[in-house]
Amino acid sequence: MHVTSCPVCLGANIINILDIPQVPVHCNLLWRDQEAARNAPRADIQLSFCASCGHLFNQKFEPNRTAYGESYENTLDFSPRFSDYSATLARYLVDQYDLNEKEIMEIGSGQGDFLRLICKLGHNHGIGFDPSYVPQGNAREGPEFIREFYGERHRSYSADFIIARHVLEHLDSPREFLSLIRSAIGDRKHARVYVEVPNILYTLRDLGIWDLIFEHPSYFNATSIRYLFEFCGFEILAVKERFKNQFLGVEARPATATEHAPKVDDDSLAMLRDYVEHFARHHVEKIESWHRKFDSLGRKVVVWGAGSKGVTFLNTFSDVAAIEYAIDINPRKAGMFIAGTGQEIVPPKFLQGYRPETIIVMNTNYMAEINQMVQDLDLAPDFLLA
């Protein structure tokens, strides 16, 4: 399998940046068995840069390898830091777009927390689409959930506001998806859209090399996502860096023009190219410097964060025996095992008995809440930021 044209602009002027062979196909599938976790399926990443629109993507992505069923778990809502972020975003969208007694549709709604919040804040009616949704107790109250991928057959559902957070980067054809949303909106020009994706510029700038995962065929930046939206018949209202620059939030409405020929700003392209070259140069160096760090660390090292970043980090250093556990505050992950390397995922309170010497924190945004939890457990380990 080889993607030969850019998934955003369809251009063929593609530059290979780096290869990361044999990573776990899924970082967020839960494994109940350690041996099965170690034998989790693997696939290749070939990170590539489109010189025409500035998009980054995995040229070796294979769409039929990924699956998002009930055992797919990527909820971040157990973190107070992330809940605060979601609540602030929900409040902003309700105020900015007067979402009161409106129809809200969320695609990729997960377990529905964000949709419930938006519906509650503005007495809105919600409908969520997600195959990984697990039905909960009082289903008669609140939004309705459809346990399917949003597709052609759902275009009759209409909404005043359409949300898709952390969906686009998982799709092999984000163009098809966004075009479908645009065509489902039709001539309802009052409809507004909010889409959120990881911000690859953050990854490039801050050398967040653990953000590259097989589940993400696409890595958007403000330039490439703007191109995509304009191409698919939307007018951009805002593209904002959110969650301390780790995400991009796109606010858009249907465009009035019928011709959609997006233009790419040359300065932005040149800047992206510089960042990409910087990233490629420092990728290997960062891994080597961690190997040196591990040599000087003692025993009892744990990784805090068993999401994408943690799984990628652990798989990069699969030969480091000192890391026996991964910590995660999501209770659904407790007792499960890390794909590829098989460390057990344990809740924070486990550390009280284990008493780690070093905690490697995967995401700087959670540093304050992790520090607090560790103090509450009466521990004083060294912290390292991945």
Q: Enumerate binding residues for Zn ion (CB under 5 A).
A: 6, 8-9, 11, 50, 52-53, 55
For Zn ion, the closer CB: 57 or 194: 57
User: In terms of CB distance, is 52 or 109 closer to Zn ion?
Assistant: 52
Pairing of strands 56-58, 42-50: antiparallel
The least CB distance from residue 3 to Zn ion, in Å, is 11
Asked whether the beta carbons of 293 and 384 are under 8 A apart, the reply is: yes
Q: What angle do CA 82, 144, 105 make, to 5 degrees?
A: 65
Q: Shortest Cβ distance from residue 55 to Zn ion (Å)?
A: 5
Q: Which is nearer to Zn ion, 195 or 326 (CB)?
A: 195
Neighbours of 110 (CB within 10 A): 23
Supply φ then ψ for residue 238, to 5 degrees.
Answer: -165, 145
Residue where the block lists tokens 């949303």: 181
User: In terms of DSSP bridges, do strands 247-254 and 301-304 run parallel, antiparallel, or are they unpaired?
Assistant: unpaired
Q: Which is nearer to Zn ion, 142 or 262 (CB)?
A: 262
Q: For residues 9 and 76, which CB has a smaller minimum distance to Zn ion in the complex?
A: 9
Min. distance of Cβ 295 from Zn ion in angstroms? 41
- List strand residue ranges (DSSP E) for the chain, in order: 14-24, 42-50, 56-58, 103-107, 125-129, 144-146, 161-165, 192-198, 218-219, 234-242, 247-254, 301-304, 323-327, 344-346, 358-361, 382-385
User: What does 316-375 look like in DSSP terms, one character per residue?
Assistant: HTTT-TTEEEEE-S-GGGTT-B-TTT-PEEE-GGGHHHH--SEEEES-GGGHHHHHHHHH
| Shortest reach from residue 52's CB to Zn ion, in Å | 5
What's the CA gap between 372 and 204, in Å, rounded? 29
Q: CB burial class (10 A; 0-12, 13-18, 19+) of residue 92?
A: middle
Of residues 51 and 320, the one with the C-beta less far from Zn ion: 51
Q: What's the closest the beta carbon of residue 318 comes to Zn ion, in angstroms?
A: 33
Q: How far is the CB of 310 from Zn ion (least distance, A)?
A: 31
Nearest distance from residue 179's CB to Zn ion, in Å?
16
Compute the C-alpha angle 380/383/386, nearest 5°.
Answer: 160
* Residue with Cβ nearer Zn ion (129 or 219): 219
From 335, 345, 349, select the one nearest 310 (Cα to Cα).
345
Minimal distance, residue 251 CB to Zn ion, in Å: 22
Alpha carbons within 13 angstroms on the beta-carbon side of residue 102 total 21
- Which residue, 75 or 268, is less far from Zn ion as judged by CB? 268
Cβ 9 to Zn ion, closest distance in Å? 3
Pick 35 or 266: Cβ nearer Zn ion? 266
